[in-house]
Structure 1
Amino acid sequence: MLHTTTILTSGRRCPSKMKQSAPPHDYLANKKPSSHLADTIDFILTTTGHSEDILVRPFSFGRNQTLKATFIYVEGLCNEDAIEKMISRAKFFDEKEPVFESAQQYLEEVGHTETLNCFRPLIDKLFIGYAICVIDGFSTPIAVAIPFYKERPVSEPMTEKVVRGSREGFVENVRTNISLLRRRIGDEQLWVETKTIGTRTKTKIMIAYMNDIVDKSILRELHTRLDRIYTDSVLEDGNIEELIEDQVYTPFPTVYSTERPDTTAAHLLEGKIAILSDGSPMALIVPALFVQFFHNAEDHTQRADIGTLIRLLRFLCIFIAMLAPSFYIAITTFHQELIPTGLLGNLAAQQEGTPFPTFVETLMMEVTFEILREAGIRMPQPVGQAVSIVGAIVIGQAAVQAGIVSAAVVIVISITAIASFVFPTYSIGVPIRILRFGFMALAASFGLLGICIGFTAVLLHLSTLKSFGVPYLKGLSPFIWKDQTDTLFRAPKWLMNERPEATTKSNQTRQRTPKPSPKD
């Protein structure tokens, strides 16, 4: 045990040479602080393993310095300037009766305070930015909320670029992210609930929704799924997504993720629910529908005709990115009669100089491109771009000149790769890339019949998926006519009077703006 004199004169850090084994994790639930200052401090230091970042600052209240006290806090999590201010002003403290309540009221001037009767909440508060004030002679420490976090400033989203629109993206501080939503939705019906998940990480989760629009059954289901999570760590939003999604054995995402506050606000106003976790710059949106993964914030910042054309281009790129290599394999291997005679002669001449069948050529180039894609993502940005561009050009040209693959294969793979970059959401591009290899194998085995079989299987699989009980293809299947104003097409704003029925049936009226008319 540490002596009182050792603690009060040890300065800022505790001596590491006197470490003892920490008590069990659940032992703290019923352990109560002592009225002796030294015993309480010693227990806290022992429990935290005498860690170097646990700082101890002794001081005294009043001019006569008769009331001894100590601040315990974690370096880097608390505002040390505020602690210094409290300590420097402590000599002006007037010891009125009752003394403990007067001390708590004094500390309240700096930050919100809470009294703690046992060590479990005390330790929890210590590691979320509270300074613990232990007063000699009292068995109830006071936790003062003076958190201080160094965070990344709000900046442009990295994965969801737009030409016209907001340049703000979420950051790793969940409080900042909620404030970004509040700036866009200044309505009292935007309700925010808080949960803590992870017995050790104690990650703060915030659930945001429009109370008068959201489907209450979906909200209850989300709470049920979050409450049944029992894990020691939740380090980022991907952990939550895996634990609450409907279908595990599917490549398609059933939870939508975004780092844009404007996109999140738009989904909230359609009756969906946002889940934001501390430490992650992404928001999870539920329920998620298949078509929304191909929508972009820029669809609504451009005119309706431009937004519709861009959106249709994205849906076209789904088929190009998923089926282009398999169509090339099927036509050149089984259905040469579909190729014009002149082009067929050129393809045959190229194929004579290569040692591998078309399927093997295409597979080699696809794997090579996937390697280049991952290398470009993981490497530093300036180097990564050079590796992707130079690698693709050099390897493709060298492979053609060496006679390993034909020029036509390089063209097909290049078009496929470019089409795969059109998707506004990274998570939907991954299943398209996975399915591409399956379609290639089917095309090499059965030709166009194999592609038809595979495409039918994908449609059947999509029709069985649900996101929080909502059919994945809802709006398209089952077909909802009034939702078509913002599904495959983007109708003018003055036509989008109703909220999507696919996600909510409450408060359907969104606007009643008449069609613009020219002034006479």
Structure 2
Amino acid sequence: MFFRSSRRQKKDNKQSTNKEDSYVHLHTDLQKNIKDLENLLDKPSDLNTRTFTIGQGGPDCAIIHIEGLSDTKMINENIMKNLQIRIDEVEKTSTYFETELLDKLYLQFISISNVEKGKTMDDVSFAILSGDTVLFVNGIDQALVISTKGWDSRSIEEPITEALIRGPREGFTEDLRTNTMLIRRQLRDSNLRFKSHQIGRRSKKNLTVTYIEGIIHPDLVKEVNRRLDTIDIDDAPESGYIEQWIEDNFLSPFPQLQNTERPDKVSAALTEGKFAILLDGTPFALIAPINFGAMMHSPEDYYERWMIGTLIRFLRYFAAFIAVFLPALYIALVTYHPGLLPTKLAFSIASTREGLPFPAVIEAFLMEITMELLREAGIRLPKPIGQTIGIVGGLVIGEAAVSAGIVSPVMVIIVAITAIASFTFPSYSFAISIRMLRFSFMMAAAFFGLYGIILVYIMVNIHIVNLKSFGIPYSTPFSPGFKTDWKDLILRAPITMLKRRPKYLQTEDEKRINKGDQS
């Protein structure tokens, strides 16, 4: 016990010492600065320190960066070469030992646009850990922080989770600057704003909130910034951490922020009056506020003609009904209400269930859980094997279960149709919510039949009506009703008729199309 306490005390003392040292101002002694920085970072093997003299007879200086995070070629060509070769002579005057020397080096000899001054050890260490290069000059208690980020990153590829038949093939990457560039390519608007935050006490990751000023409601911008300022965690490796921290109701099964890898989807949301959150290190951006209808929409709805888009949306809503209610209706009708079935169908189901050892509810749960296991296994396995496991495994297990007399053929058909319907949703997180609701309806049907299904349906509707996404009701524009927004809800009206932005967002600029009818 004493050993643990002593070790914990030493650890706490070390952390507090490092924290205090990081905010200490830099020294005028070059070697002292180098030593303090190396001690703060515990002398990592990838820390590259290069000391040299500026010109002939000039002051000693040093550049420090981390290999792998910085662009070595940029450092050699734009910093080292200029300071060592292109400076013929630096006069030995007292002015070179003052802060003005840093300005002279920046203005005349460093061929990199983004250069700042660092005054504390925290400024310097954070810059180095971010991929920048720090230039120390002997006799000056400040340093130049030079932007030389150059780590390897994934190239722009087609999003895997949101594939489209017709539409752009570009997707976000793990690099924040690449993602902001993709949005700027979509929206060349001078009112497009990118507001930066820093997330994580230890990771200190960059987070950007983007929106279009003049469209989005100002109170919405204030609210998202307020929630982001409350985040106090060590690290946020993925945008899912941000989503769970700033959502309105963590007990709800429904997502209150929409995640996407598609820049075109983000740009379309921004023009509607929403905002997006981009986090460094993840290709998934967050869009808010959202409603139930937005989770059923796909960018492809707008790329095709309005009749095709409307038909696809009808199919999605029909698929949602099947994915939620079909297994529960089977349990309720077979167990409690066989009289509601047509006579021939009732006799057909009864004949297939003859000799089965389990009741309908156990049969349904066994098959649904098996299907969920196959789906999860198919995702986790390598892609070629995963597809084979999902298809072959489902066929083999279903056929074997029917042959063994464990489940009925009708149950296999229902589970297969339900699984197919659950794959039609554009949002993966929303599809998981639908799968969770399916099991709730199945349990209610097992205990109370159709009455249980109706009771759970009423409870779900009450929850959706009370649920909000950044103050916007999740059930809008159904309730509260905005009839003008129904043009782009289940129906997808022609583009020429979508003249106004969603009314429930209360945008500052309501008009999408300024010509023609103003209704």
User: TM-score normalised by the shorter chain: which range applies?
Assistant: over 0.9
In 1: Cα distance, 2:196 partner to 2:473 partner: 28
* 1:279 match: secondary structure: coil
2:257 to 255, 261, 284: 255
Shift of 1:216: 0.8
RMSD: 1.6
Contact 2:22 2:40 in 1 (8 A): no
Structure 1 distance, partners of 2:243, 2:413, is 37
1:42 to 9, 12, 35: 35
Give yes or no for contact 2:56–2:90 (8 Å, CA) kept in 1: no
Q: Are 1:107 and 1:144, in contact at CA under 8 Å, matched by a contact in 2?
A: no
Alignment of 1:273-284 (within 5 A): 273-284=275-286
Which digits, 9 at most, give the CA deviation of each residue in 1:159-217, with x for residues without a partner?
Answer: 11111111111111111111111111111111111111111111111111110010111
**Does structure 2 conserve the Cα–Cα contact (< 8 Å) formed by 1:60 and 1:91?**
no
Mapping 1:109-188, distance limit 5 Å: 109-188=111-190
**Distance of aligned partners of 1:318 and 1:131 in 2 relative to their CA distance in 1, 3 Å threshold:** same
| 1:390-423 CA-partner distances (Å, limit 9, x unpaired) | 1101001001101111111110000000000000
1:88-142 alpha-carbon deviations (Å, 9 max, x no partner): 3313324256432333334532342222221111111111111111122222122
Q: Deviations 1:13-66 (Å, cap 9, x if unpaired)?
A: xxxxxxxx77734213541222222211111111101111111122221134x4
- Of residues 66, 73, 79, the one that matches 2:71 is 79
Which residue matches 2:90?
95
1-structure distance, mates of 2:201, 2:471: 29
Aligned length: 495
Q: Which residue of 1 aligns with 2:62?
A: 70
Pairing 1:265-414 to 2, within 5 Å after superposition? 265-414=267-416
In the alignment, residue 305 of structure 1 is paired with which amino acid? M
**Letter paired with 1:48:** L
d(CA) in 2 for partners of 1:213 and 1:127? 37
Q: 1:496 to 1:393 in 2, by over 3 A?
A: same
Q: 1:59 to 1:392 in 2, by over 3 A?
A: same
Q: Which moved more, 1:131-140 or 1:427-436?
A: 131-140
In structure 2, do the counterparts of structure 1 residues 22 and 133 end up closer, same or farther at CA, with 3 Å as the change threshold? farther
Which stretch has the larger CA shift, 413-422 or 435-444?
Answer: 435-444
SS at match of 2:505: coil
Aligned-partner Cα distance in 2 for 1:245–1:317: 27
Give 1:10's aligned residue.
none
User: 5+ unaligned residues in a row in structure 2: which ranges?
Assistant: 1-13
Partner of 1:484: 486
The aligned residue for residue 431 of structure 1 is: 433
CA contact (8 A) 2:298 2:426 kept: yes
Which range is displaced more, 231-240 or 299-308?
Answer: 231-240
Quick check: 2:255–2:430 contact (8 Å CA) kept in 1? yes
Q: Is the 8 A contact 1:241 1:255 kept in 2?
A: yes
Equivalence for 1:518: none
Percent identity, please: 37
Q: 1:61 aligns with which of 54, 57, 79?
A: 54
Aligned twin of 1:51: 44
| TM-score under structure 1 length normalisation | 0.92
Aligned to 2:197, the other structure's residue is in SS state: strand
1:33 aligns with 2:26: yes
Consecutive unaligned residues of structure 1, counting only runs of 5 or more, are 1-20, 516-520
Q: Deviations over 1:198-256 (max 9, x none)?
A: 11111111111110010111111111111111122111100100110001111001111
Question: In structure 1, what is the Cα distance between the partners aligned to 2:417 and 2:359?
Answer: 20
**Is the CA contact 2:320–2:422 (under 8 Å) kept in the aligned structure 1?**
yes
2: distance between equivalents of 1:396 and 1:107? Answer: 73
| SS of residue matched to 1:24 | helix
SS at match of 2:206: strand
CA displacement, residues 310-337 of structure 1 (integer Å, 9 cap, x when unaligned): 0111011111001100000111111111
